[in-house]
Structure 1
């Protein structure tokens, strides 16, 4: 973490890392988790990722350092942290594919987390396709996390995004765009077994189901400067059906209405519990407590709650029997 903070060019994120002890103080996190005796977390490294703070010749070593560290935490505290999600040096693709394989096969990673763009490149860039192929080969999920800073600005006439709009609203947009690019580039069509868990319960996609259906059903008929009809023909079915192939986590601000929206879009078999711990005003406790309560407030059948709290994650990550809730917590 010290290296990430020192090297990061995103000073907003670097400042937040050092201000949240639960990110780096393991004993403090374990003590906090004692509030829920049957609760456990699937760990991910917080942003910024290795490829966003190091050059291509240095990022592989930083990614390995982080992955080895999380693997050691899991080995020591498997009752609380049954699994971890690896990070990759995505600005060095050969090393990223190699680290993907090593982290899963040798370190026991449950999958990998990638950002919605890699130094401004979209994930449907052909250079990244081997990563998706590797996920299918290893039969592990990919966690998709949004990433952008206060620049570029929200308006071309300004220098930067104001009022933290870049994160609160910009991150869900980032995720939604990345999902769309993976759909329309044919990545999901080519790799139907690919499992991608989107942060914030699919971001904008579930809420805009109607627009996605009605407008993208007309793809290729309304653009004057390019012919997109071949994309629709390539997909072979409605675009909205491909969006339903993604998974979503429940880290969406503990809003019951938002969780219900995501559940109705993805279905109860493709939603997993997450809290965004420890990025709440209480340093972790609030998002866990309120996230569990939000799902309880929906009055879902017990079997559905069990799927969300543990069953779906257990199936995806090939875990054992359930405590109360296990989460991929993006922390």
Structure 2
């Protein structure tokens, strides 16, 4: 019996979150930074695109119909990363994560046999992130979505140790999905802010988790990296070389960086069957999960077809299509 098809990378838009921050001065500053990072031409395309997907990203009946058309049985639904609002103060941050977690839980409750959810946590307030994860789990969510960094903090920051400890203890899924790239204006044309920025941020964030020893201290963490983990898995040999050749590179983690790929899960959204095959080779077929980025334009409308194009073996195809995600979700 083959497993159901499970898409672990699908998003929800939450109007209540944006209404809660609309009048705050910090939002204007965040939008100005976003404009610098993306550039006017990209924003001119992204605005209409986001408006066009609002129905699919908010209406459960449309989501389920789209899943049927794609041959997807189960979606793991996470808020749009635009809802992170890592600029927010503690009071606003608590309001944001509560609204996001509760709205995601309510959305998924409308399709309980087919939808599972992830919440968000305010990484800009590490002590509050622990409470936010607990709140997400209390709503019946499977974990939380996090970005690649927060202002002034990388994921290797010791302040996040309590968050990692709670996630490990509870079995919560941590979906690593960047929002924004700190290369800023260097990527402000041709949508490079996303095309190059997202896989760069994935690689940097995962490198911080690996090289700092977070995965040594918390081997039970359930980290799922969006966008196939970015550039890191297919270029992990350079990390291994540095670890073996330089004392500063090997000071934080106990083993060669490539060995940690087997402790992380990666979605399949790499837009190239050859890269997907290499990801499966590098991380292991048991560590890759189907992902679509539904319903955004940088995703795929046929995630199963994209997986089929990689021409994996029969067991590996079905593991990535759903078997691995079923096992991962069953544990939470």
- Tell me the TM-score normalized by structure 2: 0.81
Indicate the larger mover: 211-220 or 201-210: 211-220
User: Which residue of the partner structure matches residue 231 of structure 2?
Assistant: 204
CA offset digits 1:210-262 (Å, max 9, x no partner)? 32222332123xxxxxxx2xx52553322322244221101122x21111111
Indicate conservation of the 8 Å contact 1:179/1:243, yes or no: no
Q: Which moved more, 1:232-241 or 1:242-251?
A: 232-241
Give, in angstroms, the shift of residue 53 of structure 1: 5.2
Structure-1 residue corresponding to 2:200 = 173
- RMSD (Å) for aligned C-alpha atoms: 2.5
2:70–2:301 contact (8 Å) kept in structure 1 = no
Contact kept, 8 Å, 2:277 with 2:312, in 1: the verdict is no
| 1:239 corresponding residue in structure 2 | 257
Matched-pair contact (CA < 8 Å) for 1:17–1:23: no
Among 134, 151, 154, which residue is 1:122 paired with? Answer: 154
Go from structure 1 to structure 2 and tell me whether the alpha carbon gap of 1:79 and 1:51 turns closer, same or farther (over 3 Å shift).
same
Deviation at residue 72 of structure 1 after TM alignment: 1.2
Change (3 A) 1:241 1:61: same
* 1:51 paired to 2:65: no
Change (3 A) 1:211 1:37: closer
Specify the alignment match of 1:275 in structure 2: 292
8 Å CA contact 1:60, 1:96 repeated in 2: no
Q: Does 1:95 align with 2:113?
A: no
Q: Which runs of 5+ in 1 are unaligned?
A: 155-159, 221-227, 321-331
Bigger mean CA offset, 86-95 vs 6-15: 6-15
Deviation string for 1:177-229 (max 9, x for gaps)? Answer: 11111112111111111121111112111221332222332123xxxxxxx2x
Q: Is 1:190 matched up with 2:217?
A: yes
Alignment of 1:303 with 2:315, yes or no, is: yes
Q: Which structure has more RCO (C-alpha within 8 Å, separation ≥ 6)?
A: 2
3-state SS of paired residue (2:266): strand
TM-score by length of 1: 0.81
Task: Please tell me whether residue 313 in structure 1 is matched to residue 325 in structure 2.
Answer: yes
Unaligned runs of 5+ in 2: 1-13
Q: Deviations over 1:112-140 (max 9, x none)?
A: 11000112421111111211111101012
Q: CA deviation at 1:45?
A: 0.5
Whether the 8 Å contact between 1:199 and 1:251 is mirrored in structure 2 is yes
Write the distance in 2 (CA, Å) between the matches of 1:120 and 1:152.
15
Q: C-alpha distance in 2, partners of 1:128/1:60?
A: 17
The 5 A counterparts of 1:1-331 are 1-2=14-15, 3-4=17-18, 6=22, 7=27, 9=31, 10=34, 15=47, 17-21=50-54, 22-36=56-70, 39-52=73-86, 54-81=88-115, 83-104=116-137, 106-149=138-181, 152-154=184-186, 161-220=188-247, 228=248, 232=250, 234-253=252-271, 255-280=272-297, 287-289=300-302, 291-318=303-330
- Confirm or deny: 8 A CA contact 2:202 2:225 kept in the other structure: yes
Contact 1:183 1:243 in 2 (8 A): no
| CA pair 50-59 structure 1, distance change in 2 beyond 3 A | farther
CA deviation after TM superposition for structure 1 residue 25, in Å:
3.4
SS of aligned partner of 2:184: coil
Contact 1:60 1:92 in 2 (8 A): no
Q: Cα offset for 1:318?
A: 0.9
